[in-house]
Amino acid sequence: MEPYAVSGLPDGATYYFVVTAVDNGLEGLESVEAAAQPLLDCNFNGVEDSVDIQFGISEDNNDNGIPDDVRSLRLPPQPRRRPLEAPRPLPALP
């Protein structure tokens, strides 16, 4: 059996999972529900932010739970959005 990873879930939320087994087209009972939260790693160093702060890897001088070195990261440029246009009037009915 291969491990299964769920990716792309936003941080800050709790997700609940149950699993079942399928054998020869027959599905077994659901497992006990398990709760999980995605790793919050705002500075992308592979260490959860709370651990960074707790062990002094990163500072959090403003006590917001986000390592202060995150502010120094450059985000990729965001695409520009077209300005909204005024709606066009509907054509008159004959």
pLDDT of residue 43: 77
Instruction: Give the three-state DSSP class for 51.
Output: helix
Contacts of 30 (CB under 8 A, 6+ apart): 18, 19, 20
For the chain, report the end-to-end CA distance as a whole number of angstroms: 66
Q: What is the pLDDT of residue 29?
A: 92
3-state secondary structure of 49: helix
pLDDT averaged over consecutive 10-residue blocks of the chain (94 residues)?
72 83 90 82 80 87 81 54 60 71
**This prediction's pTM:** 0.41
Q: What is the residue extent of each domain of the chain?
A: 15-72
What was the pLDDT predicted at 81? Answer: 56
